[in-house]
A and B are shown apart, each in its own frame.
Chain A
Amino acid sequence: MNTRRLALGSAVLVVLALLATVGLIRHVMSLEYRAPYRSDAPQTTPRADAVKDAAEAQAKADREKPYVEETYRRFPVVGSRVAVWVLAQLHLLFAAFVLAVPIFALIIEFIGWWNRDPRYDRLAHEFTKLLSVSFSLTATFGAFLLFMLVVLYPKFMNYLTHVFSPTFAPYVLLFFFEAFFLYTYYYGWGKFHPVVHLLLGLGLNLVGTAIMLIANAWLTFMTTPAGVSESGAVISTWQAVHNYTWMPINIHRLIANVAFGGSIAAAYAAYKFLGAETDEERAHYDWMGYVGNFIAICAFLPLPFAGYYLASEIYAYSQTLGLTMMGGAFSWLFIIQAVLIGSLFLGANYYLWLGMGRVDASARFQGYIKYLLILVAVCFGVWATPRSIMATVSETRAMGGASHPQLGYLGVMSAKNTAVNILILTTYVSFLLYRRSARTPTVSWARLGNRLQTLIALGAGGVVIFLGVYGYFVEAKVRIGLSIPQVGSVLFAMIAVTAIDVLMYRNAKSLGETHWGRIHPASQYVLIFLAVTFTWLMGLMGYVRSGLRQHWHVYGVIRDTSVDAFTPTLGFATKVVSATVLCFFLLIGFVFWLASLSDHKSSGHGEAS
């Protein structure tokens, strides 16, 4: 009984204890800190209302914001035009170098293979050594340029895509093949059969040229558009590619690239010559510089003719465009061009004359140099004479107009065409003298050959001067056509005299040695001066080719409505060109330095082994 009571009592106690524990816990929990009671109703103030309204308005505006295609974006500090200008020019300079070097490297390699002369193979390899880093820089600047164009000129790029999208995939594919050929050509040097290696070089050149043709289509279309309707809709992509200035630019660029590439390669040789420590090195780099400069000048001589073809096509497309170039906003640019080309001719001739110092028997020709120098200087002066002169009112009255009464006659195209043709002939004669300085012909008809050559050269000079003077007395229609026989007579003279010379100097008797490396160091600075001048000239002419469109992105089709639509002063343009040229030379200096590092590595290995 007691046990039952005890059990019952225990159960009651347990229940009571449990209830007490729960009660205790609830009590303790009720003592926990609680935030003071605040009303859930919003506490509105004028500021809070305004913030809320603003947030709602912003959210609404965000939801309803319409998509508007941007026409232009602004590049900080220098503006979009200058940014794109510098990038495009740097891309083009490296591209020109990368396209040009394989052309003459292949020819030199071929000569070496054909004549079994390893010196030429080494020279070609040395030229090619400059390519791989330059190719990377070309691609980098190309990509940078594309991004900048897409970002800064989105609407215009959209239009170009509309016209040229079918050309984009082939361009990229060709770029891939360019990389393939370039790297196999360079790294495969001496590792393939010579014929296979030459074919790789040929492939590299073909692909490189094809890339240039496509890119030229884009830029020439902007100046002389074709294949589109008046509103800009595409009618024919092929016509857009094959516009008025496409082929002239293709030819002009191909030749100019070789001239430029030759001059840069010659500058590399000069850099190496000046730092050379042995006579052997000096001899090699003197020869390399001579070859590079020879290539540059050979390509440079026909360049004015290609330029004439380009200008005539611009006139054929639009007289207004042609006159804007030669008689309007850009007319004074051609005076700057005359200074540059005059400097090139002077430098090229001076280098040839200095080069005679390395030939034992050259003294007999050195007497002619002063006459050649006078001719070069006179022609330079004529070419650099402007038609109209900036003068004060009193000076203008004294002259009877903006043109000088006598010198003004030298400012017109008749005089300038004559001057440039005589300059070309003079430079050619300088080269001919240099070529002959160590040899004398042994053929029986040498005297006749010499007289014939003299007659042809003087005849060509006479034709050029006669037509130049005749141009002052005929109407415009006839005068414009006179440039062609002037150019033709000079070309004929150069080809005919060279042909006679080659035949006449076959088995010629040597009068002395050519001592490569025995040349005044000033000659090497002349080579660098020529390279800088070529580069600056490319920058300047790139500006006129592009700036000619003035306030049009695509001439007569897409108007430039940006803040940069105006044509800047020539002073400003030359500053941009100079900045670009300095950037280029800093970068190409880096390329030269890298190429030299591989020399050190090679010689280091040589010593170790």
Chain B
Amino acid sequence: MKVPVPLRIFALTVATTAFYTLVGQLVPQKEVQPPKETVLKKDMTPDELLKAGREVMEGKGLCFTCHTVGKSGALRFPDLDGIGARAGSRVPGLSDVDYMAQSIYEPGAFIVPGFNPGMPTINKPPIGLTDQEILAVIATLQSMGGKVTVTLDSKVWPLGAGAAASAGAPAGPKS
């Protein structure tokens, strides 16, 4: 039986489309929800604050879209492992908290050598973290190899307002 040409063309169209649809089903399936707000309370324990900071970094802050933790090699953006230890020595005159706050509020001010500028201003849309969320993030970053001194009561921005927060963390040798 000879199959009419239009029917063959239709079958080919459906088969091709079905093949690409199948390819689409074979790749990992992930539904990305809009970021949820992390609840921050003044009476949080340090551990709760660090956990909340991590949640913000993974969710609304989108930090891990670009940054890695514990990876080396030809990275596109600086790895965050040990950031708490080296932050105080990145920029002469800036404590660890100052450096982290500047990186978040004014990311173009200092670019880690070997990398291109690319960090967005985190307290403005589309990310738009609140000051409180940023404090939680800084506390979490401090915990990566350093001592956590930031609380939700700290004032870290503009620079100079955070003397109390950074007092507990000596700036260390400047590179």
Looking across the interface, which residue of chain B has its beta carbon closest to that of A525? B12
Q: Is residue A215 contacting chain B, with contact meaning CB distance below 8 A? A: no
Q: Report the separation of the CA atoms of residues A199 and B25 in the bound assembly, to the nearest whole angstrom.
A: 49
Q: A271-B5, A319-B119 are in contact. Are A532 and B12 (CB under 8 A)?
A: yes
Are B23 and A574 interface neighbours, CB within 8 A?
A: yes
Are A578 and B126 interface neighbours, CB within 8 A?
A: no
Which residues from B are CB-within-8-Å of A552? 126
Give the interface SS of chain B, mostly helix, strand, loop or mixed: loop
- Nearest Cβ distance between residue A565 and chain B, in whole angstroms? 5
Which residue, of B25, B33, B35, B76, has the highest number of chain A Cβ atoms within 10 A?
A: B76
Looking across the interface, which residue of chain B has its beta carbon closest to that of A582? B17
Q: Report the separation of the CA atoms of residues A556 and B122 in the bound assembly, to the nearest whole angstrom.
A: 12
Q: Is residue B152 contacting chain A, with contact meaning CB distance below 8 A? A: no
Which residue, of B10, B114, B126, has the highest number of chain A Cβ atoms within 10 A?
A: B126
Name B16-73 residues within 8 Å CB distance of A: 16-18, 20-21, 23-25, 27-35, 62, 65-66
Which range holds the interface residue count of chain A?
35 or more
A563-593 vs B, Cβ < 8 Å mask (1 yes, 0 no): 0011111110111011001100100010000
Q: Is residue A234 contacting chain B, with contact meaning CB distance below 8 A? A: no
Are A568 and B23 interface neighbours, CB within 8 A?
A: no
Q: Is residue B91 contacting chain A, with contact meaning CB distance below 8 A? A: no
Q: Report the separation of the CA atoms of residues A336 and B23 in the bound assembly, to the nearest whole angstrom.
A: 7
Looking across the interface, which residue of chain A has its beta carbon closest to that of B31? A569
Q: Report the separation of the CA atoms of residues A567 and B25 in the bound assembly, to the nearest whole angstrom.
A: 16
Are A474 and B74 interface neighbours, CB within 8 A?
A: yes
Are B6 and A589 interface neighbours, CB within 8 A?
A: yes
Which residues from B are CB-within-8-Å of A560? 34
Which residues from A are CB-within-8-Å of B24? 336, 570-571, 573-575, 577
Are B23 and A339 interface neighbours, CB within 8 A?
A: yes
Q: A474-B74, A476-B116 are in contact. Are A320 and B25 (CB under 8 A)?
A: no
Q: Is residue A323 contacting chain B, with contact meaning CB distance below 8 A? A: yes
Are A271 and B9 interface neighbours, CB within 8 A?
A: yes
Q: Which of A319, A536, A550 contacts B32 (CB 8 A)?
A: A550
Which residues from A are CB-within-8-Å of B62? 320, 324
B interface residues, how many (CB within 8 angstroms): 42
Which residues from A are CB-within-8-Å of B65? 320, 323-324, 327-328
Name B71-115 residues within 8 Å CB distance of A: 74-77, 114-115
Q: Is residue A34 contacting chain B, with contact meaning CB distance below 8 A? A: no
Q: Report the separation of the CA atoms of residues A320 and B31 in the bound assembly, to the nearest whole angstrom.
A: 18
Q: Is residue A364 contacting chain B, with contact meaning CB distance below 8 A? A: no
Are A320 and B66 interface neighbours, CB within 8 A?
A: yes
Q: Report the separation of the CA atoms of residues A529 and B66 in the bound assembly, to the nearest whole angstrom.
A: 38
Which residues from A are CB-within-8-Å of B20? 336, 339-340, 533, 536, 574, 577-578
Q: Report the separation of the CA atoms of residues A353 and B125 in the bound assembly, to the nearest whole angstrom.
A: 53
Q: Is residue A555 contacting chain B, with contact meaning CB distance below 8 A? A: yes
Which residues from B are CB-within-8-Å of A551? 34-35
Q: A274-B5, A324-B65 are in contact. Are A529 and B116 (CB under 8 A)?
A: no
A331-372 vs B, Cβ < 8 Å mask (1 yes, 0 no): 011011001100000000000000000000000000000000
Q: Report the separation of the CA atoms of residues A550 and B127 in the bound assembly, to the nearest whole angstrom.
A: 12
Are B17 and A536 interface neighbours, CB within 8 A?
A: yes
Which residue, of A274, A319, A323, has the highest number of chain B Cβ atoms within 10 A?
A: A319
Which residues from A are CB-within-8-Å of B23? 336, 339, 574
Are B28 and A332 interface neighbours, CB within 8 A?
A: yes
Q: Is residue A230 contacting chain B, with contact meaning CB distance below 8 A? A: yes
Which residues from A are CB-within-8-Å of B127? 320
Name A384-404 residues within 8 Å CB distance of B: 386, 390
Which residues from A are CB-within-8-Å of B118? 315, 319
Looking across the interface, which residue of chain B has its beta carbon closest to that of A585? B13
Are A550 and B74 interface neighbours, CB within 8 A?
A: no
Which residues from B are CB-within-8-Å of A568? 31
Are B34 and A566 interface neighbours, CB within 8 A?
A: yes
- Nearest Cβ distance between residue B31 and chain A, in whole angstroms? 5
Which residues from B are CB-within-8-Å of A585? 13
Q: Is residue B120 contacting chain A, with contact meaning CB distance below 8 A? A: yes
Which residues from A are CB-within-8-Å of B10? 589
- Nearest Cβ distance between residue B8 and chain A, in whole angstroms? 8
Apart from A319-B66, A479-B74, 16 more pairs, CB < 8 Å: A318-B120, A319-B77, A320-B62, A320-B126, A329-B30, A471-B74, A476-B74, A477-B114, A536-B20, A551-B35, A552-B126, A568-B31, A569-B29, A569-B30, A573-B24, A589-B6
Pairs across A and B, CB under 8 Å, 7 listed = A323-B76, A332-B27, A336-B23, A476-B116, A525-B12, A532-B17, A533-B16
- Chain A contacts to B: CB under 8 angstroms: 230, 271, 274-275, 315, 318-320, 323-324, 327-329, 332-333, 335-336, 339-340, 386, 390, 471-477, 479-480, 525, 528-529, 532-533, 536, 550-552, 555-557, 560, 565-571, 573-575, 577-578, 581-582, 585, 589
- Chain B contacts to A: CB under 8 angstroms: 5-6, 8-10, 12-14, 16-18, 20-21, 23-25, 27-35, 62, 65-66, 74-77, 114-116, 118-120, 124-127
